[in-house]
Amino acid sequence: MSKQPREGRRKISLTELMIRANELREYIDILQAQVQELSAQLTELQLSLTTIDDLPEGSADSYVMLDRMNTVFLPVKIIDEWHKKLLVNIGGNYYIKTDKENAVKLLNKRIAETRRLLDGLQRQLVSVLTEYNYIQQILASAYVQAQQTGKAQG
């Protein structure tokens, strides 16, 4: 058996590890922001779907929330056959005029796509966090060893 180092292994300095840890920390922050944004989008899409499903088919008097904190509600009159005249955002600030059935299909597709993207980002975040934590453990261990060496020499 050869005593040569394994292929793919190389020595790296503590400085390189610290730089990598900082890069990972920044990437983690970006991924967490994206996960948060997609989670908010998913909640909004699900709320839209629930609202469409819960509205009566005929005319009705109702209230529309003007902000997300439920501070102000505006009274509205829902017209007959509203379910045939929905506008649905299909992306890029484009809307399609459609009926309730197609609107529900479009919303379900967007919900599924958003969940898929969110799941992918969460898996990526877990992977990056694992690498970051591993590097942090190495750095902490090196710090402890340096402290012990300093005490032994002092």
CATH number of the structural domain spanning residue 139: 1.10.287.370
Q: What pTM did the predictor assign?
A: 0.78
Q: Is residue 77 part of a domain?
A: no
Q: What's the domain range around 50?
A: 31-55+83-143
Dmax (CA) for the chain in angstroms is 87
Q: Tell me, what's the pLDDT at 64?
A: 83
Q: Tell me, what's the pLDDT at 6?
A: 58
pLDDT tens digits, the chain, 154 residues: what are they?
445 555 667 888 899 999 999 999 999 999 999 999 999 999 999 999 998 988 888 888 888 888 878 889 999 898 888 889 999 998 888 999 999 999 999 999 999 999 999 999 999 999 999 999 999 999 999 989 888 887 777 5
Q: Is residue 132 part of a domain?
A: yes
Q: Is residue 23 part of a domain?
A: no
What DSSP letter does each residue of 20-63 carry, written as one string? Answer: HHHHHHHHHHHHHHHHHHHHHHHHHHHHHHHHHHHS-SS-EEEE
Q: Is residue 125 part of a domain?
A: yes
For the chain, the helix, strand and coil percentages under 3-state DSSP, each to the nearest 5: 65, 15, 20
Contact yes or no for 148/61 (Cβ under 8 A): no
Give me 46's structure tokens: 């699900």
Q: Tell me, what's the pLDDT at 127?
A: 97
Q: How many domains does the chain have?
A: 1
* Cross-strand partners of 92: none
Q: Tell me, what's the pLDDT at 1?
A: 45
Contact yes or no for 39/125 (Cβ under 8 A): no
